[in-house]
Chain A
């Protein structure tokens, strides 16, 4: 089993819709969880950290389920500018392990 797994997509979603991504991790000792966004041919950038109690930043909500070892990202009222690849990341000791990413296309 891969340490961090994501559905590669692509997800093709109409503008204004809600879209959800899931990510599973295998290391139960992981303590820190993140979502990164990567635009085409650009570097990844931190979108948000994921806290135990869940957290929200505008249209974006991140959740953590430790018992099932997965994290999720919900995007509400999606915009054309949300089109990107979303990378899940989990810590292992002094490293961050990334999933392969989920591609999202928002359709006009």
Chain B
């Protein structure tokens, strides 16, 4: 099993460009999450999904959109990138409620917006 994978690993964007980050898991997990991690800020939840076809807002959703069309994939979109979105983005998944199930993280995507 590959676990949780993220594509791409690195990306540099110019302000105003758009892009989509892909998260894929092969563990048949129901719940998937997108976090961003900035120096001194810890992990902050952007959006999450409790199952195929569902999405919900986290702590810092502005400027991002997500889709969960297939159970194994969770996409994070930036419609018009801003320098404030320079960050490391982590995807995570859990089999069920995260209260009772370990969160597995992907290796991260390092995004720089110039």
Contact = CB atoms under 8 A, between A and B. Distances in A.
B40 A94 contact: no
From DSSP, what is the main secondary structure of chain B's interface residues?
loop
Interface of B: 31, 33, 35, 40-45, 48, 50, 58, 90, 97-100, 102-103, 105-108
A94 B97 contact: yes
Contacts of B50: 94
A32 B41 CA distance: 22
A95 B42 CA distance: 15
Contacts of B41: 100
Contact of B42 (A46, A91, A94, A100): A100
Q: Interface residues of A toward B: which range?
A: 10 to 19
Contacts of B99: 31-32, 91
A99 B42 CA distance: 6
A30 to B, nearest CB: 9
Which 10 pairs show the lowest CB-CB distances between chains A and B? A100-B42, A43-B105, A32-B99, A98-B43, A91-B99, A96-B98, A46-B102, A98-B42, A44-B105, A43-B107
A97 interface: yes
